[in-house]
Amino acid sequence: MSRLHVVSGKGGTGKTTVAAALALALAAEGKRTLLVEVEGRQGLAQLFETEALPYEERKIAVAPGGGEVHALAIDAERALLDYLQMFYKLGGAGRALKKLGAIDFATTIAPGLRDVLLTGKACEAVRRKGKDGRRIYDSVVMDAPPTGRITRFLNVNDEVAGLARIGPIHNQAQAVMRVLKSPETSVHLVTLLEEMPVQETVDGVAELRAAGLPVGSVVVNMTRPPVLDEKAVAVAGADRARIAKALSQAGLGGARRGGLAERLVDPLLDEAREHAERVTLEREQRAELAELGLPTHELELLTEGIDLAGLYRLAVDLRKQWQEAV
């Protein structure tokens, strides 16, 4: 069973919201989840209505059933200082390098190293054990970079191959890849039922599979229930007089010819046609996602926006679907 859940998605699909909801869902019934941010946007802090996440892990939420969600924002510079202390015992010398700008310089000229540091922190949390020999966290959820960059971000072994073929950096990359390419990891892609996000999801799945990285599921976010289909719109359009009469009976204008009720018919039919077209497009996008052969979960659009209560609502829905899929 997967313990590291990497959540990616095209910008605007709500991947950070899904990552937060997934962390809550996995922490239910007394479990402990670590939620990791790697892009420095502090989007998770906003969702949980808390202060900016530090580099240190801290509890930010209690899940249904008493579980806990802990979180941290991984900073590449801090992670590199930890790395230098762990492998080279630099201590104060590492901090001096930071003041000189050497840390920032190293992570800028060697982006592969930066990704090793960011993913390495999450992978370390997956394997970490307490004094009793049990895992500290039951699950780790990473709010990862967008779909277009996710394969390169996770495939750190290839990224550092030209940087270091032996030594601690090479060994660290190998250790990270052993976690990322194992059954302990699942990469989940978030999408909307729109052509561009779906196409990027399809391309992302192909890239991840080609790189040997384990794809978990597709999460279709912000779905809206269908109200009318094309057939219903056609039937309604053929009986304009009945629609005008219904509007009049509802108090929207009088029954006389040319009145408000009659003038409202065409705008309503136009909206109905647009809705029917959207339903048809979404049906086509669902069919394209189904061809991926992956578990697919759907989360509804919360029209009032995402607040903490809405986040818990999505978590309950996601947990239910997750259990049904298993």
| Predicted confidence (pLDDT) at residue 107 exceeds the cutoff of 60 | no
All residues at 6 or more sequence positions from 127 whose CB lies less than 8 Å from its CB, including other chains: 135, 179
Strands 68-73 and 139-143: unpaired
| Predicted confidence (pLDDT) at residue 58 exceeds the cutoff of 90 | yes
Structural domain boundaries in the chain: 4-224+301-321, 227-293
All residues at 6 or more sequence positions from 174 whose CB lies less than 8 Å from its CB, including other chains: 157
Query: Which stretch of DSSP H or E encloses residue 124?
Result: helix 111-127
Higher pLDDT, residue 71 or 87: 71
How many Cβ atoms are within 10 Å of 105's Cβ, its own excluded? 11
DSSP state of 293: -
Query: Would you state the pLDDT for residue 75?
Result: 78
End-to-end CA distance of the chain: 10
Least confident range from 64-73, 103-112, 184-193: namely 103-112
Q: Which CATH superfamily is domain 4-224+301-321 in?
A: P-loop containing nucleotide triphosphate hydrolases (3.40.50.300)
**Contact of 315 with 219, CB cutoff 8 Å:** no
Query: Would you state the pLDDT for residue 257?
Result: 56
Query: Would you state the pLDDT for residue 304?
Result: 85
pLDDT, tens digit, 9 for 90 and up, residues 209-258: 999 999 999 999 999 988 776 676 666 565 666 766 676 766 665 555 55
Query: Would you state the pLDDT for residue 83?
Result: 62
Query: Would you state the pLDDT for residue 322?
Result: 85
Helical spans, DSSP H, in 238-292: 240-249, 260-290
Q: Is 130 left (phi over 0), alpha (psi -120 to 50) or beta?
A: beta
Query: Would you state the pLDDT for residue 249?
Result: 66
Query: Would you state the pLDDT for residue 234?
Result: 67
| Predicted confidence (pLDDT) at residue 301 exceeds the cutoff of 90 | yes
In whole angstroms, what is the distance from residue 176 CA to residue 85 CA?
Answer: 18
Higher pLDDT, residue 187 or 103: 187
Query: Would you state the pLDDT for residue 103?
Result: 45
Query: Would you state the pLDDT for residue 72?
Result: 93
Residue that is written with structure tokens 């940087």 in the block: 163
How many Cβ atoms are within 10 Å of 283's Cβ, its own excluded? 12
Percent of the chain predicted with pLDDT > 90: 51
Higher pLDDT, residue 168 or 128: 128
pLDDT, tens digit, 9 for 90 and up, residues 178-221: 899 999 999 999 999 999 999 999 999 999 999 999 999 999 99
| Predicted confidence (pLDDT) at residue 105 exceeds the cutoff of 50 | no
pLDDT, tens digit, 9 for 90 and up, residues 149-177: 999 999 876 666 555 565 666 777 788 88
Higher pLDDT, residue 89 or 85: 85
In whole angstroms, what is the distance from residue 75 CA to residue 125 CA?
Answer: 15
DSSP state of 135: B
Higher pLDDT, residue 47 or 277: 47
Mean pLDDT over 88-93 rounds to: 47
